[in-house]
Amino acid sequence: MWAVQLFSAPDRGHPNLQLFSASDLGGEIAVALAATSIVFCKVNPSYSSKLDRGAATMYKFTRRATTRTLYSRGQPDVEPYYKSTSYSDEYMWSAAWMYYGTGNASYVSFATDPRLWKNARALFGTNVVDLFVFNWDSKVPGAQLHMFGHNTGYPYSYEQSLAGFRNEHRRQHDGMAMFKFDRDREQPLQYVVANAFLAALYADYLVAGNVKGWYCGSKFMTINDLRAFARSQAIPKQTWTTKLPNLIAQFGFLFYDTKYYFVYNLLREMYHEMQLNYILGDNPKKMSYVVGVGKKYPRRLHHRGASTPNDGIKYTCTGGYKWRDSSKADPNLLTGAMVGEPDRSDGFTDSRNGAGGHNEPTLAGNAGLPAALVSKVPEPLT
């Protein structure tokens, strides 16, 4: 099917879809409501309380024994594409947010229940690495970030959780990180930007915690000392992509100690800034992988709305294939959309029908990009 009806008024005649059992979806809704309640708690307390009540209602729905199943199960329009693997990670994720929204410590007890971690799965498999990469099917890293300061044990103790990452990433020739899963995942840029955001957020947590530095033997090392050291290893520019990843491996994967983990995370923040630069054009192709950014970016997206012209014609399900198969540039610019990936050799073919979704933007894939970019904007925002 390659037809689009988005250029006319939206069709309001669609029936409401009802789900009576969807623990993972219910958990995500509870998270959205709880997080939004925090945003409004000071400026609109009444609305914030209403959101809290809604979050509590959805959380109870999520936990109810009779509704414990996956939202995608038996849904033919969903299951082949975004099949949810488990709801245990949403249990951890929603309980962590409910704690921050309400201050009720009972949510911490449930979020850290070891049975949840034992049963959590992601991306259709059992590989622990899939769980430790923040993505649409695993919220474990987000829950970890919320809980790491509560001394709640594995998997929230950051020294232990790093074991899941050891040697589990692949780098492009020019330094782009590609997370290595048990199967090569399509569209890896989405994982890079989502985890770049988490790295930046963790660094903010360290600053908010007034962490000044650490002792290396008898000498106290400040944050500035670390940054100066990291930059000395990463400059000139061409060594940035070769030495910094090795430093991350050294500090992050060989030492499971709080002070070294602090070193690792500051290095990781710098490394992920490099990842964003790669996506925005600092790469061998000298092109941005975000539409509309820079002078060179993808022009032939695997996207019906971008490739089908607004010519007043309602194409049939197959009648639009001529636009899918066309080599012409998109008639509609999908500004801000990030495509799926370059290949592992930094190559990229600007074609709608390439393998692996390399030129396909998705909502799930783009969700982490704005957050990662905003995390690099200095405060205060005016």
| CA–CA–CA angle 212, 218, 221 (5° rounding) | 30
Take residue 219 and report the two structure tokens written for it: 């000498």
Task: Cite the beta strand spans of the chain per DSSP E.
Answer: 169-171, 177-179, 213-216, 219-222
Higher pLDDT residue, 108 or 153?
108
User: Which amino acid would we find at residue 244?
Assistant: L
**DSSP H helical segments within the chain, as ranges?**
23-40, 45-63, 88-102, 106-111, 114-119, 128-131, 140-147, 158-161, 189-208, 223-234, 237-253, 258-279, 304-307, 321-324, 363-366, 368-374
Q: Determine if the peptide bond prior to 331 is cis (ω within 30°).
A: no
Higher pLDDT residue, 296 or 84?
296
Look up 146 and say whether it is catalytic: no
Higher pLDDT residue, 306 or 135?
306
Using DSSP's 3-state secondary structure scheme, residue 221 falls into strand
Whose CA is closest to 372, among 239, 282, 302, 271? 271
Q: Determine if the peptide bond prior to 380 is cis (ω within 30°).
A: yes
For each of the domains in the chain, give its residue range(s) and CATH number, in order of start: 166-382 (1.50.10.10)
Whose CA is closest to 300, among 362, 360, 367, 363? 360
Give the pLDDT score at 4.
59
Give the pLDDT score at 28.
94
Q: Average model confidence (pLDDT) for the chain?
A: 74
Give the pLDDT score at 238.
41
Tracing tokens 């690792």 back to the chain, one arrives at: 264
Q: What are 111-152's pLDDT values in tens digits?
A: 888 888 778 777 656 555 566 778 888 888 888 888 766 655
Of the listed 169, 272, 302, 358, which one is catalytic?
Answer: 302
Give the pLDDT score at 39.
95
Whether the per-residue pLDDT at 298 is higher than 60: the answer is: yes
Q: What are 240-266's pLDDT values in tens digits?
A: 444 444 544 444 333 334 444 445 555
Rounded CA gap, 246 and 264, in Å?
11
Among 38-47, 162-171, 184-193, 313-322, whose mean pLDDT is lowest? 162-171
Tracing tokens 């914030």 back to the chain, one arrives at: 48
| Mean pLDDT score, 211-230 | 60
Give the pLDDT score at 8.
43
Q: What are 263-281's pLDDT values in tens digits?
A: 555 555 565 567 788 888 9
Whose CA is closest to 157, among 257, 260, 272? 257
Give the pLDDT score at 69.
87
Rounded CA gap, 200 and 373, in Å?
10
Rounded CA gap, 212 and 373, in Å?
25
Q: What are 317-362's pLDDT values in tens digits?
A: 788 888 889 999 999 999 999 998 888 788 889 999 876 678 989 8
* Cα separation values, 335 from 93, 273, 289, 298, 368, Å: 31, 22, 11, 11, 16
Rounded CA gap, 92 and 121, in Å?
12
